[in-house]
Structure 1
Amino acid sequence: MSFLALVLVIISAFMHATWNYLAKRSAGGYTFVWLYMVVSIVVYAPFVIGLLMLMDHHIGWLELGFMAGSAAIHLAYSLLLQKGYKIGDLSLVYPVCRGTGPLLVAIAAVFIYDERLTTLGIIGIALITCSIFVITGGMQAIKKANTFVPLLYGLLIGVLIASYTLLDKGAVSVVMISPLLLTYGSMIGQVLFLSPFVLRRRSEISREWRLHRKEAIGVGVLNQLAYILVLTAMTFTPVSHVAPVREMSIVIGTIMGSRMLSEGFGARRIAAAGTMVAGVIAVALQ
C-alpha cells in the first residue's frame, strides 16, 4: 500500500469512528438517517457542481445502476446500524461489524478482483476472527440474550459493509466513476428511498432536528467525506488492502464507546480491538 493511500485511509478511520459515535449518541432511526443524508446533499452540492463544470463525466445507465445499487445497500446498512446502536453498545456492535466487513472483503476480492491472499493475510484474518470473539465476551456472552441480538446485528451489518465495499470498488476502479459522484448519487438515491416514509411524519422531522441537529450535521459531513477518501484510495489500491486498514477506526470507536459513553468491559474490548488492528494490518501488508 502506498503512503498516500495509507494517509487517506487513516484520516478516514478517524472520521468514521467520530460519526459513528455521533450516530450512537443521537439514538435516532430512519428519520435521523434521512436528516443527515439531506445535510450531506446540501453540503456537497457545490463540490459536485464544480466537479461537473471542470471535468467531463459520462453518466449512463451503467453508472446509474451502480449508484442505485450502492444507494440500496448503504441505506440498508445505515438503517440497520441505527437499530443496532439502539439495542447494543457502540463498543460491541461497532467492532463486530467493522471487523466482519474487511474479513469478507479480503476473501471475496480473491475471486471477484483476482487479488492475492498470502499466508500473512490468512494470519491477519485469524487475528480478526479471534478478536471479534473476545470483544463479544466469548461463549458466555453469546448465551446472554442482551448480547446475542446485538451480536447478530453486528454480523449482518458486516455483511452489508462487505457488499457495498466490493460493489463500490468496481464502480470506481472498473467503471471509473468519480468517488464524489458515486457517493453523491448514492446519497440522492437513499433520500429518495426514504422520503415517502419520512415526509408523512413531519412533526418527527422537526423534533429530531431540534434534539439532534448537531449530530445530524456532524454525521452528514463526516460520513460522506470519510467514504470519499476510502473510495479515492481504492482507485489505485487493492480493496483487500484498503478495507482492512480502514478498520483502524475500530480502536477509536471502541475507546469512544467505553470511555465517552460509559459502556462496560472497556479494558477487554480495547485490548481485543488492538489485536484486531494487528490482524487488519497483517492483511494490508500481505
Structure 2
Amino acid sequence: MTLLVASLALTCSAFCTTLHAENTSHIGRHQSTPDDVQAINQVLLDFQSALLNKDVKQLSSLMLNSNILFASPSDQQTITRAREQVDVNYDGLPTGGYSNFARFIAGSKKRVQEKFYNVKISQDDNLAWASFDFEFLEDEKIQNYGLESWQLMKQTANGKFSAWCGRRTARPSNKSHSCPIHVLPEPLMRIEMIYGLVLVAALAHALWNSIVKGSQDHLLMLGAIRSVGLLVGGIVACFVPLPAAASLPFLLTAAAVHYVYYACMLNAYRLGDLGQVYPISRGMAPLVVTILGIVIAGEYLDGWKLAAIFLISTGLLSLSFSRGKPPSKAIAFAIATGLTIAGYTFLSGLGIRLAGSALSYIAWLEIAAGAGVVIAATVRRRSTAIEFARSHWRIGMIAGMLSVGAYGISLWAMTRLPMAPVAALRETSVIFASLIGVISLKEKFSLPRFAAACSVAVGIIVLTSPHAA
C-alpha cells in the first residue's frame, strides 16, 4: 500500500511539474480576493434590486459616473433606418448611455426586472469584468435576452466597485429559465492543473473509503473521520469570514442531504456487496449532476465533455455487474445513494460560488455535515468508542485528513469549473479503489474490470484534453 501511494504521488508530482515546465507563471496570476468578488457580486444584486424598485438613485450609485457607455448595439435594421431618416453617421450605439437607461426605468409604468445567469467575474486588482447571460422582463414577460458584459473599477478612495461600461447583445424572446445567480471566476491556474488536483482528490477519496471498508467497526471509523472534519472545520472557521447569507440555504440543505446519503449508503452496504452497490451510486451521480447543471444552473458543456462524462459513468456503472446482478433492494438503495450524492454535490457547487470564501463554506459544511455523525457514533457505540479511539486514532486521523482534503479540493474546483466534469473526475475514485484492491488485496483484475478501467481512462483523457477545455 505504501509503495502504491508513493508511486501515485510521484506520478502526480511529475504530472504537475510537466504542466509548469514553461516559464509562464505570471500568466493568469491576477490579484483577486474573496471580499472583492463578493463586492462585485453585490453590485450585480443591487442593480437587480434597483430595477425592481425603480430606484434610480440607488442605480446611479452603482455607476462610476452618469456619462458612461451603457447600451445595447442596435440591430442592422435599426441602424439602416436611423441612417436613412436621422443620422447618416449612426454607428448603432445610442447616445445618452446610462442616463437614457435610467430615465427609461424611472418612467416605466410596468414592473421591470432583469435576471442574470452564468455570471463570470474576472478581476485584477482595481479592474474587473463581469459577463453573464440576461433576461429583461416587463410585467413578468421577457422582452429581450442575450449576453451582457460590464467593466468595473475599484475606487481607491472608498474601495467600492462601480460600473464603468456596460454592453449587451439583445434579442426578442418568449423563453424563460430559472436559476440562482452564481459566480464562476476565471481559473487562477491552468485548467489541466485543476483537473489533476481533482484526480488526486479521487485517489484520496478511494484511500479513505478503503480504510472504512477494512475497519472492524464502520460506524466508529466514519465517526472518527468526521471528528477530524469537525476539528479542521472549527479551526478554519475561526480565521475566515462567515459564508455570505446567499449561500446559507445551499449549505444547510447540502448538510441535510449528507445525512440522507449516510443512511442510504449504510443500507445499501447492508443489503448488497460493496463492489456492486458502490459503483452504481458513484457512477450515476455525474449523470444526474450533468442534467441538473444544464437544466437548472444553465451550465454549458460541449459534445466532448458530455461524451467524456458518459464514458466515465458507463465505466463505473459496469463494475457493478462484473460479479452478477445485485439484489433488488440493494440496487434501490444504491440508486438513492447516487441521487443524494448528486444532490449534495449540486447544492454545494452552487452554494460555494455564493459564499464569498470557499474555505469558509467548506469549513462550515464540515461542521454541519459531521456533527450528527459524531454524535450518533458516540451514542450508539458508547461502550466501545473510547477504546476504539485509543487504538485507531492514527489511522482515523489519516483517513479524516484524506476525506477533508478530497472533498475540499472538489468543492473548490467547482468555483472554477462546471460541476459535472468535476463530479465525473471525483467519482473515478471507484477505479482507484479497484486498483488498490488488485494491488494490495491481490484481487483478480478481471476482463470487466479492465474494460471499465479503459472506459474511464478514455473519458478522463477526452475530458482533460485541450479540445474539450
- TM category (shorter chain) comes to 0.7 to 0.9
Match of 1:23 in 2: 212
Question: CA, structure 1 residues 27+267, in 2 after alignment: closer, same or farther (shift >3 Å)?
Answer: farther
Match of 1:184 in 2: 363
- Pick from 162, 178, 181 the counterpart of residue 342 of structure 2: 162
Aligned: 1:141 with 2:324? yes
CA contact (8 A) 1:91 1:257 kept: no
Provide structure 2 residue ranges, at least 5 long, that are not aligned to the other structure: 1-189
CA contact (8 A) 1:259 1:266 kept: no
Question: CA, structure 1 residues 157+225, in 2 after alignment: closer, same or farther (shift >3 Å)?
Answer: same
Question: CA, structure 1 residues 230+132, in 2 after alignment: closer, same or farther (shift >3 Å)?
Answer: closer
Q: Deviations over 1:234-259 (max 9, x none)?
A: 11111122222223323211112344
The Cα shift of 1:108 comes to 1.5
Higher relative contact order (CA 8 A, sep 6+): 1
Match of 1:127 in 2: 311
Q: Deviations over 1:93-135 (max 9, x none)?
A: 3333222111111121101221224333443354345434532
Provide structure 1 residue ranges, at least 5 long, that are not aligned to the other structure: none
* TM-score normalized with structure 1 length: 0.80
CA contact (8 A) 1:36 1:219 kept: yes
Matched residue of 1:203: which SS?
coil
Q: Which is higher, the Rg of structure 1 or of structure 2?
A: 2
Q: CA RMSD in A?
A: 3.0
CA contact (8 A) 1:27 1:85 kept: no
> In the aligned structure 2, how far is the partner of 1:31 from the partner of 1:3?
37
Q: Deviations over 1:122-159 (max 9, x none)?
A: 43354345434532227x822x53xx554444332221
* TM-score normalized with structure 2 length: 0.52
Match of 2:46 in 1: none
Matched residue of 1:235: which SS?
coil
Q: Deviations over 1:164-220 (max 9, x none)?
A: 1110111112x1343322222122223443455444342132244245434422221
CA contact (8 A) 2:225 2:399 kept: yes
The residue type equivalent to 2:423 in the other structure is A
The residue type equivalent to 2:361 in the other structure is L
Match of 2:278 in 1: 94
The residue type equivalent to 2:369 in the other structure is Q
* Identity across the alignment (%): 27
Match of 1:49 in 2: 238
- Pick from 409, 415, 430 the counterpart of residue 250 of structure 1: 430
Match of 1:239 in 2: 419
Structure 1 residue runs of 4 or more that deviate by more than 6 Å after TM superposition: none
CA contact (8 A) 1:33 1:79 kept: no
Task: Report how many residues are paired.
Answer: 276
> In the aligned structure 1, how far is the partner of 2:236 from the partner of 2:367?
15
Match of 1:35 in 2: 224
The residue type equivalent to 2:210 in the other structure is Y
Match of 1:224 in 2: 404
CA contact (8 A) 1:95 1:132 kept: yes
Match of 1:9 in 2: 198
CA contact (8 A) 1:9 1:245 kept: yes
> In the aligned structure 2, how far is the partner of 1:91 from the partner of 1:266?
13
Higher-strand-fraction structure: 2
Question: CA, structure 1 residues 132+39, in 2 after alignment: closer, same or farther (shift >3 Å)?
Answer: closer
> In the aligned structure 2, how far is the partner of 1:261 from the partner of 1:152?
29
Q: How does 1:55-134 map to 2 (within 5 A)?
A: 57-59=241-243, 61-85=245-269, 88-128=272-312, 130-134=314-318
The residue type equivalent to 1:101 in the other structure is A
Question: CA, structure 1 residues 274+96, in 2 after alignment: closer, same or farther (shift >3 Å)?
Answer: farther
> In the aligned structure 1, how far is the partner of 2:411 from the partner of 2:374?
26
CA contact (8 A) 2:280 2:334 kept: yes
- Once the two structures are overlaid, the 10-residue window that deviates more, 35-44 or 225-234, is 35-44
The residue type equivalent to 2:249 in the other structure is G
